[in-house]
Amino acid sequence: MSLTAQPATRSGPARELVDALADDPTGQTSPSIYETGRLAALAPWLPGHDTRLAWLLDRQRPDGGWGGPGGYALVPTLSAVEALLTELHRTGPATAPATAAHRGLAFLAAVLPGDTPPDLPATDLIVPALLTAVDRRLTGPAGPPPGLAGWADRPRLPLPAGLDPVRLTRVRGLLATGRPVPAKLAHALEVTGELAPGAAGVRPSASGSVGASPAATAAWLGRPEPGPALDYLRGVGRPGPVPCASPITVFERAWALAALIRAGVPLRVPEPVLAELGAAVGASGAATAPGLPADADTTSVVLYVLARLGRPLGVAPLAGYDTGRHFCTWPGEDGASLTTNAHVLDALGEHATRPGVTAARRRVADWLVERQEPDGRWEDRWHASAYYATYAVLLALADHAPDGAARTAVERGVGWLLDTQRADGSWGRWQGTAEETAYAVLALTGAGRAGDPRIAAALARGRARLSELDGCDGGPALWHDKDLYRPTRIVRAAVLAASGRAGWASPRPAPTMIRIA
């Protein structure tokens, strides 16, 4: 592949973003109410404790809950309420925490039992664990904390429909044996309560974290023992509130670069970034973060980016995720991810001349087409918005489905995007957002038929609205972890790519527009 330079003046914002990716060893993501609540409850000795409590109090909604709309409020509200109850038991009467805890309990009592919560990682472990912890704080021998005496005789908060404590009991049983704990379970180690501190089957990663999670690390550490785990907590907790996962370096770099590259934004990618992305791919692929297992999603995006930048590694690391019909995110996955398979299709498509790749592309493309919703959209387990899943699947099918076999599905997906554009030109599940509008613009640009006047009109309105929303929509969290989060630079890359203000060249550029610095 021939790699040529582009004028620096045409890619200022993109260059700044790529420089930030290179300079930051941890990545940037929004704070998590769930994770911050767990850290406040588990590690009051960690610097920043008062800041974390104040941040939690400041983020309570008018209805008493915390977090996102609908069922997305359950996990963060449980975490915040339990943290406040723990603090009141620890320190004694305090008006603001007691009032907030009372309002949070009233919110939970009103929404439980209800529909099954959204498909977030470890929800089936977290919710039973936190409901039990809240009940103990209210009905234990010491009684409710000061200011909440009225909750002593209330019925216990019930589990939501569809959840039970069976899996949590199994996980705690595994931990009690001392056998190694799977890395994906270590991410939620805090659910195991008194079994977590110093658990023999758990080892911190090279970064000092357990499962890349501040809460899991605090649960394993138990007390402020000097060492890498404490150093990790002090680093990640320095601002006060903490994210669900840190560091996210590989994930952030791969997703941000993929969005910019695909949109034809001229880039100068520093050699160390490329080298580190390549080094992240082992025999079983790449992991989102140290302490998490390698997965097909991260592996695919890294392989796609490296191939587009002239550093193809082949697709052998994906072999262990091939189920024969589709690709699992990791072996033993409950369910299946459409965006993981879209990213696999992207990676396969960039290695189309390798033996056996065409057959695998056809299988994955067929599997994705079969899972299109009747109205033309796609939904996925890693994001709250169908616009993200539809963007990922549409572009993968448009670019890499063999023989154009998926064109009808692509047309239906494009039709759904056209039909759901809001009157102001934006797109969004709950309201128009810059992030979701960017996904729709990128999908229509890459998968729509050239010259279609409907698409041209939708893109013009969408880009105009995107310029108004950019930086002004509050940065809503839409990505799935233990609660909703926002990977700031990944979203920024999508918005820059869609807006054309990052150094736009053409809707579907050739790879020769990318330069390695």
Chain mean position to CA 273: 21
| Three-class HEC string of 308-339 | HCCCCCCCHHHHHHECCCCECCCCCCCCCCHH
CA-CA distance, 170 to 165, in Å (whole number)?
9
Q: Which amino acid would we find at residue 370?
A: E
User: What's the confidence (pLDDT) of residue 375?
Assistant: 97
pLDDT in tens, 12-68: 888 999 999 999 989 999 999 999 999 999 999 999 999 999 999 999 999 999 999
pLDDT, one tens digit per residue, over 450-499 is 889 999 999 999 999 999 998 887 889 999 999 999 999 999 999 999 99
Every domain of the chain with CATH number 1.50.10.160 lies at: 33-182+189-194
Q: What is the mean pLDDT of residues 261-274?
A: 93
Residues of the chain with CATH 1.50.10.130: 8-26+247-403+476-516
May I ask the CATH class of domain 8-26+247-403+476-516?
mainly alpha
Flag whether the pTM goes above 0.85.
Answer: yes
Domain 33-182+189-194 falls under CATH 3.40.50.11540? no
Lowest mean pLDDT among 162-171, 334-343, 467-476: 467-476
Token digits of residue 294: 């390698």
Upper half-sphere CA count for residue 160 (Cβ side, 13 Å): 21
pLDDT at position 514 is: 36
Q: Is 506 exposed, middle or buried (0-12, 13-18, 19+ CB in 10 A)?
A: exposed
DSSP structural state of residue 304: H
